[in-house]
Amino acid sequence: MHFEPFWWSLFGAGGVVSALFFPVLALLIGLAIPLGWIDAPAYETISGWIEPVIVRLVLFVIIVLPLFHWAHRFKFTLIDGLQLQHWSRFLGILCYGAAIVMTLVSGYILWNF
Amino acid sequence: MDQQINTISKTYKPKMSIFWWAHRSTHIRFIMRELTSLTVAFFAVVFLFFIRALSQGPEAYARYVEKLQSPLFIVLHLLALGGLIFHSITWFNLAPKAMVIKLGKKPVPGSFIVISNYLGWIVLSLLIVWLFI
């Protein structure tokens, strides 16, 4: 069975989602809040945002699709960059497997928020 | 004497050095661009654990923010932010090549698609900043 288009579609969607959302979120969560440029949102406030199921569903998509973007892209970076064509299958299992595992972890965390 | 003809031929595969990409700046830039996928995975995980910390209560949330203040994480996020912005810019610049939209018979100009993507990115980012401030 030829799964390549499936992984490529996830790669594309993940590329769009990460391109749109991650720079600003990384700026806020990784730099602005830790360095005190802005106050960390109050626990009650931010928990309130995440509580609704629809929000958690959106967060799931925003986390999982970029992971599959990484999986597909990094697999090919290793294959093409390090000339590991003979390891394609193994690298695929490693990369897509890691993304699948993190998808299950994300689902678990967001479901039990 | 009969000569045995070898009917099984092996294809010649030239061996490429694993540093094949290091000799040309265009190749190096290509590899750098592709490696931005690591910054995407890094932040996806950071974000996931941020949400996890929140789910565990106010103390866990405070502890996670403290962890993000460590010099290691600040440096990682500085690098990641650079990589993520580079990913976004290279991604949006490629968008017209990936999607060809036609209005009737005329294709939408590539510049329109690129500008729409950038505008969407800016508006979305401002909305999220506004949410956090």
Give tens-digit pLDDT for A48-99. Answer: 999 999 999 999 999 999 999 999 999 999 999 999 999 999 999 999 999 9
Give tens-digit pLDDT for B5-54. Answer: 666 677 877 778 888 899 899 999 999 999 999 999 999 999 999 999 99
- Which among A34, A63, A109 has CB closest to B65? A34
From chain B, pick out residues whose CB is under 8 angstroms from the CB of A105: 48
Which B-chain residues 1-60 have CB contacts (< 8 A) with chain A?
Answer: 16-18, 20-21, 31, 34-35, 37-38, 40-41, 43-48, 50-52, 54-55, 57-58
ipTM of the prediction: 0.96
Q: Any idea which residue has 């890691």 for tokens?
A: A98
Instruction: Please say whether the beta carbons of A110 and A60 come within 8 A.
Output: yes
Give tens-digit pLDDT for A20-38. Answer: 999 999 999 999 999 999 9
Model-level pTM greater than 0.80?
A: yes
Specify the pairing of strand B106-107 against strand B102-103.
antiparallel
